[in-house]
Amino acid sequence: MKAIHNLIQSVKPHFEEGGKLSRFWVVFDSLETFAFTPGHVTSSGAHVRDSIDLKRTMFLVIVAMVPCLLFGMWNIGHQYHLSLGESSDLLANVLVGAWKVIPLIVVSYGVGLGIEFLFAGMRGHSINEGYLVSGMLIPLIMPVDVPLWMVALAVAFAVVVAKEVFGGTGMNILNVALTARAFLFFAYPKQLSGEIWIHDVATSKAGGMLVDGYTGATALGHLAGTVGAAASEASTATMSLFAQGGMFSLSNCFLGLIPGSVGETSALACLIGAAILIWTGIGSWRVIASFLAGGLVMGVLFNLIGANAYMTINPVHQVVMGGFMFGMVFMATDPVSAAQTNTGKLWYGFFGGLFSIMIRVFNPAYPEGVMMAILFMNVMAPLIDHYVIEANIKSREKRLTVAAA
């Protein structure tokens, strides 16, 4: 590493003010600080500092996403082969998955970091680590067969509009990755509700190779079809998919052996991620726990109402389907867009979970309620914090009047 250090130092002058490559200073600086924590010493205040920095923090979030990523890759291949009725082995599944996921990751990081470099250069500050996480989250919440140009567009929109216009990492109001997803959802509704949840399902269908019962729809897509219709034969058929042994049985949903966005299908992988985040203290257990509670409460309420087939689904089944778990673990916990106060986090999480289930059941046009719910709660988070802080201010004022009396 002495050699690496010397190499970096030897090319440094070219990037510094007046050097030939000074316009690429930001790129150089971010690579240098990536490889070496700079030798900045403390100049004011505390002379020693905690070892934690934003790079470590963000890196641990990525570590927590790895189970979702790996499982997602495998599952893409698994679903593809299932849809063709072929049996397959681990390697074949992962290869299909890698073929789909790696380009998504490359596009996401390429476009996102490109824009970040541009803005950092314009503003004359160094690159912030925020996008390291967003850039990995975005591929994981994309449908398998989404066209790459759409991903590029969504990333560009999210980074510029959701983040950079507000001032960059730490300043955004909305979760960047979810903004990318929402952009696609609203800009390309037709393409995004089509047959893109299983690799090549459209082609397979056209070629007549698809196994019976495979429509390429997700669990929530199937269920959305039952809303509004009275209990009919069609909805009974759909619901049978969710019974024991069906395609979307509880165990399949929990393990993630179902079609869906790249990284969201496995509740188990998400829970492993949650364990890592809570264990390292990076993700707020308050948000995760209250989000789960909110979802379960809404599920129970729907059970009690039971107005249609969708409402009768077991609450535990509800929360392991779709993007609920992924949103709960990786999106709702984004510290920048979540509530900042500890009390606020509980409310924020609870209503996030509640609305996720409510939206998906009430509005079949938005099967993925968790995205809308978290974005909504992102907007509401400052308000929640406001009331928590007001309560604190009030208690202080009350103390003053008591003291004066």
**Residues of the shown chain interacting with other proteins in the complex, contacts defined by CB under 8 A:** 1, 4-5, 33-57, 59-60, 126, 128-130, 167-171, 279-282, 284, 335-336, 338, 340-342, 345, 385, 389, 392-393, 395-396, 399-400, 403-404
In the bound complex, what is the minimum distance in angstroms from residue 45's beta carbon to other proteins?
4
Provide the token pair at 321: 């389907």
For other proteins, give the closer residue by CB, 38 or 245: 38
The C-alpha torsion from 32 through 37 and 41 to 47, rounded to 10°, is 160
For other proteins, give the closer residue by CB, 188 or 285: 285
For other proteins, give the closer residue by CB, 218 or 341: 341
The neighbour count for residue 383, using CB atoms within 10 Å, is: 14
d(Cα 282, Cα 335) in Å, to the nearest integer? 9
Specify whether the CB–CB gap between 177 and 299 falls below 8 A. no
Quickly list H helices, 256-314.
267-280, 285-305
In the bound complex, what is the minimum distance in angstroms from residue 170's beta carbon to other proteins?
3
In the bound complex, what is the minimum distance in angstroms from residue 385's beta carbon to other proteins?
8
d(Cα 377, Cα 352) in Å, to the nearest integer? 6
For other proteins, give the closer residue by CB, 307 or 400: 400
Q: Which residues contact 215 (CB under 8 A, 6 or more apart)?
A: 195, 222
Per-residue DSSP letter, 90 = H
In the bound complex, what is the minimum distance in angstroms from residue 389's beta carbon to other proteins?
6
For other proteins, give the closer residue by CB, 5 or 23: 5
Q: Which residues contact 128 (CB under 8 A, 6 or more apart)?
A: 54, 116, 120, 168, 169, 170
For other proteins, give the closer residue by CB, 23 or 123: 123
The C-alpha torsion from 164 through 118 and 142 to 57, rounded to 10°, is -70
In the bound complex, what is the minimum distance in angstroms from residue 338's beta carbon to other proteins?
7
d(Cα 378, Cα 327) in Å, to the nearest integer? 12
Residue matched to tokens 């923090």? 57
In the bound complex, what is the minimum distance in angstroms from residue 168's beta carbon to other proteins?
7
